[in-house]
Amino acid sequence: MNSPVSVVILAAGMGTRMRSKTPKVLHRAGGLTLIEHVVRLARTVAEPENIVVVVGHGADAVRSVLAPYGVGTAEQTEQLGTGHAVRCARAAAPAHGHLVVLYGDAPLLTAATLAALVDDRPETATVLTAILDDPTGYGRILRDPAGHVAGIVEHKAATPAQREIREINSGIYCFRAEKLWAHIDAIGTNNPAGEFYLTDIVELLRAAGHLTQARILADPNELLGINTRVELAKVDAIFRARKTTELMLDGVTLEKPETITVDVDVTIGADTIVESGVRLLGRTTIGADCRIGAGSILASATLADEVLVHPYSVIEDSRLGAGARVGPFARLRLNNVVGAHAHIGNFVELKNTRLGDGAKANHLAYLGDATVGARSNVGAGAITCNYDGVHKHPTTIGEGVFVGSNATLVAPVTLEAGSYVAAGSVITDTVPGEALAIGRGRQVNKPGWVSRRKK
């Protein structure tokens, strides 16, 4: 019974209730698009080449997001119901083995639940169900006296007695593929919406002598679908609550976790402390024994162990070495590498800059397209003039260099190891090692000038 598993993901709908030009499955929750969550889930039970996403509205945009995952697509040019959508995938999906049907707008299903569904390896089909206190709007599961699923009736078509049933259809199935494909063309449109409902496959299989099982899900929240931005926010909150719980159980301290935003791909080492109001986004990786100050934003940042980020700092696409210190109110944007035990102080901005081990830029500086050697010190107000209006140019600062306050380094320029730059200097030429560079006008005092001016 260890037959291969394939997955069909239905993601063609327009999502009109989202009131958005963006396809519904490309809206984000927990730091990923909805379709990415579902594809990642599918990959826990099936190889990428056995996963087919049925696209429709915004097909090109959805395919672009899916490209890195290596999955296939099939197009549903008209949205004529779930049965029609699955039929559109037939040419791209395997004809044998077991086939799972998932939904691109229902991303909360866990890998454990999906594995259990697939492990049933049904002879015909297993449908995932749940018991709800208020099942309004959901299709109801009809069972025969033996407990098998006799049919699924949509809420609109249900009788008053059937609407009293609290077991609902999730729309998520595991089929024996051969039996699904043998009967799917018999699905008709005899329903109030005039669509091809996949739910009808249960009765068609039963008529052919094939029984469908049901697996009742313990946590109905896993089945939450998204039709509005209100529901999107609810699902996002669930993803983030799952993530913060996971981190705390792994030994991370989150101060006021309800105020902290953590994307699902973030990793944090033990004994790190994250203060309130922090946002950790993308593929941010934080080592052990770090502290992330209140209100800071880290996006796809990599921090080694024992890094201290003071409050209200922004770090994007940058790497910080062990024991580095950043902030408060610092900004590191785009491709920075900060060495071990380096210090970046308040209101310092880095862009595409490498700061060596133990180097310092403690106050009000801008370093763009620069390389700063180990143990160098950049004074308050110093900047690299890296842009000439057309091109960006590099600044190279050697080891042990001292750059005085309010120095202006006009790139391309090099400050060799051990050199000094006097405060307030404009530097346009190479500064040799061990030299002092002074590039400023000489001060002139004019005694009595103020009194004469007043007269």
Active site residues: 363
DSSP code at position 402: E
Contacts of 77 (CB under 8 A, 6+ apart): 56
> What is 107-160 written as a DSSP string?
TT--HHHHHHHHHT--SSEEEEEEE-S--TTSPEEEE-TTS-EEEEE-GGG--H
Collapsing DSSP to helix, strand or coil, 81 comes out as coil
User: Which run of H or E residues covers position 216?
Assistant: strand 212-216
Answer yes or no: are the C-beta atoms of 54 and 11 closer than 8 Å: yes
Cα–Cα dist 315/351, whole Å: 10
Which pair of tokens denotes residue 135? 């099942």
Q: How many angstroms separate the Cα of 341 from the Cα of each of 78, 168, 305, 327? A: 59, 57, 11, 13
Angle at the Cα of 435 from the Cα atoms of 432 and 441, rounded to 5 degrees = 105
Cα–Cα dist 429/432, whole Å: 9
Cα–Cα dist 302/382, whole Å: 26
Spatial CA neighbour of 151 closest among 162, 135, 137, 161: 162
Answer yes or no: are the C-beta atoms of 262 and 282 closer than 8 Å: no
Collapsing DSSP to helix, strand or coil, 423 comes out as coil
> What is 346-397 written as a DSSP string?
ET-EEES-EE-TT-EEEES-EEESEEE-TT-EE-TT-EEE-B-SS-B--EEE
> What is 302-355 written as a DSSP string?
EE-TT-EE-TT-EEESEEE-TT-EE-SS-EEESSEEE-TT-EEEET-EEES-EE
CB burial of residue 453 (10 Å; 0-12, 13-18, 19+): exposed
